Structure 1
Amino acid sequence: MATIIPLADVDPALVEQVLDTAFEPERHTRTAYRLREGTEWLQALSFAALDDDDMLAGTIQCWPVALTDPTGRAHPLIMVGPVAVLPHAQGLGYGQALMTASLTVIDPRAPLPQVLIGDPEYYGRFFGFSAAHTAGWTLPGPWAPERLLCRTANPAVLPQEGMLGPWRG
């Protein structure tokens, strides 16, 4: 069973090791990294999973991003991820536990829409993410449109078109 702790309680070097192991050091060239350039991860929404031996098994970070519509207005969103689980711990529920921890902390009275780049079947089935509202969005680099997913209680707040990038507000 995973023990979930605040990511801020983990040595940043260990977090980087988990990310490098889960995604390879080339991860910094991915479009997802460009979406959060110059921002700091949201400590209240970011967690680590420890295994039964209290060893780091996985992490999740959430980031402030914005969708800038064609008029130049920035609409704040929460970017969920990366969700990183060490290879030996994958398939054991750590990723689900980390996602659940992050999404549960989001204030239900005024939740910002959440966005991620990931497997639509997995994130849709377990967490309600969908590409239904992201078809007109663009990103600052290559991406597979079917993997750009959003989760929101009120889709009417989402612009149909815009450029996703770091939150500068």
Structure 2
Amino acid sequence: MTMTIRDEHPEDIATITRLIAAAFEHEAYSSHTEHFIVNALRRSHQLTVSLVGVEGNEIIGHVAISPVTISSGASCWFGLGPISVWPGRQGQGVGSALMKAALAELQRLGGVGCVVLGSPDYYGRFGFKPHPGLELPGVPQEYFQALSFDGELPSGTVQYATAFEATE
């Protein structure tokens, strides 16, 4: 696989929207609104990182990162997700490559840490871990994980952007 990773371009948006919808279509844990969320983040200028994996001229994956707020006032923290790969391309390292590139870009932009809601087995491979004292209300602790780039972890309640409430 010869994949390149780059920032999204305006002409990529329709493909990214279809890709995200397809990636989550059969996921039982999904709200099936992930593509609406990314578009709402983009419209509200809260899509801090939006990278695509491209093979040839085809977009095969996408990752989004947006700011979060923490009740303790900790700043420069972000939320990863969604990360999406076309169903026929999953399990081939596309998501892992996008994850590593997105976290590197977030650090380059001055982010001090990132949270994610998802599989501990998958996200743990990239250094994410549940941390007592850092919570997302209504979510079991083991599925809400954090990665600090400077070693310090804030405590408090995390809130994602209001775009995460998008349903269309």
TM norm. shorter chain > 0.5: yes
Candidates 134, 158, 166, aligned match of 2:161: 166
Partner of 2:119: 119
- Seen in structure 2, the aligned counterparts of structure 1 residues 83 and 10 have a Cα distance that, compared at 3 Å, is farther
The two structures, once aligned, show a CA RMSD in angstroms of: 2.9
What are the ranges of 5 or more consecutive residues in structure 2 without an aligned counterpart?
Answer: 163-168
Alpha-carbon distance change, 163 to 91 in structure 1, aligned in 2, over 3 angstroms: closer
- State the shift of 1:48 in Å: 0.4
| CA apart distance, 1:134 | 4.7
Corresponding residue of 2:135:
137
* TM-aligned CA distance change 1:81 to 1:109, over 3 Å: closer
Counterpart-to-counterpart distance in 2, 1:13 and 1:150: 30
Q: Match of 1:129, as an amino acid?
A: F
- SS of alignment partner, residue 41 of structure 1: coil
Q: Give the C-alpha shift of residue 148 in structure 1.
A: 0.7
Flag the 1:40–1:91 CA change in 2: closer, same or farther, 3 A: same
**Amino acid aligned to 1:16:** T
C-alpha separation in 2, matches of 1:112 and 1:153: 5
Asked if the contact 2:77–2:111 (Cα under 8 Å) also holds between the matched residues in 1, the reply is no
Q: In the alignment, does 2:103 pair up with 1:103?
A: yes
- Aligned to 1:27, what secondary structure does the other structure show? coil
What amino acid sits opposite 1:152 in the alignment?
Answer: S
How many residues in Structure 1 have an aligned counterpart in Structure 2? 152
Pair 79,10 (structure 1): closer, same or farther in 2 beyond 3 Å: farther
Matches within 5 A, 1:1-169: 1-8=2-9, 10-24=11-25, 26-28=31-33, 33=37, 40-42=46-48, 45-51=49-55, 53-69=56-72, 73=73, 75-107=75-107, 110-125=110-125, 127-131=126-130, 133-134=131-132, 136-139=134-137, 142-159=138-155, 161-166=156-161
Aligned-pair CA distance for 1:9: 5.2
Give TM-score scaled by structure 2 length: 0.76
- Counterparts of 1:92 and 1:105 in 2: how far apart (Å)? 22
For 1:166, the aligned partner's letter is A
Using structure 1 for the length normalisation, give the TM-score: 0.75
